[in-house]
Amino acid sequence: MIDQYSHLQPVESEIEIRRAQALIADVADEPGVFRAEWLKEHGWTVVPVESADHFTETDITLLSAAFRQAGHSECLAVATEPLVNTPLCYKVPTTEAGLREFNQATWAFFFILLPEDRSCAVLCTKNDYYLVGGSQAFVTLALDADIPTARANFAAFAANSPHPTMREILCGIAERHEDITPEATTSVSPLPPVTRP
């Protein structure tokens, strides 16, 4: 099945897989949740996005543009749940073709997509949402919307889910991320104050 992909590259080395898993250990907590400590330390903005089987074509276009604008031509995709008989890790070009193949290969699983420098990430789930995290500039570009509008759109989607269990999950995700911005996650400026002569 992997042979059908011309852009997506499964990582097969056990050493490289363990390295990738170590890379995400500080970033992702449960399969569909970013670690609160990581968000606080790095001042990330996080916004949940309505999803069915990860990304739509519009999502792919926007995410590709956001990753590439941030200077990332390739990302790692790492499973955030135990998997059997399927790759745990891929190298993914951030082209639209690369993200499309990632989507086709992982739509049924929990995965995180992030560059080596861990400056931003997309956390994909099986629960009708994914999370976009990083700088406000990255998140805004990835969503093609200002952050309050994007959060309001997701909250409305969550509240209108026809399935009670999924509605509870989605509303919980909306509430958990309604205030995650640099100002809310850290009170310390990453830069020293400017001293004027």
Is 192 part of a structural domain of the chain?
no
Count how many domains the chain has. Answer: 1
Is 158 part of a structural domain of the chain?
yes
Give 9-19 pLDDT, tens digit per residue.
999 999 999 99
Give 18-57 pLDDT, tens digit per residue.
999 999 999 998 898 999 999 999 999 999 999 988 999 9
- Quick check: pTM over 0.85? yes
Interior angle at CA 111, CA 117 and CA 52, nearest 5? 125
pLDDT at 5: 84
pLDDT band at 3 (very low <50, low <70, confident <90, very high): low
pLDDT at 190: 35
Domain hosting 154: range is 2-184
156: pLDDT strictly greater than 50: yes
Interior angle at CA 175, CA 162 and CA 115, nearest 5? 100
Which of 57, 56, 48, 34 minimizes the C-alpha distance to 154?
A: 48
Is 196 part of a structural domain of the chain?
no
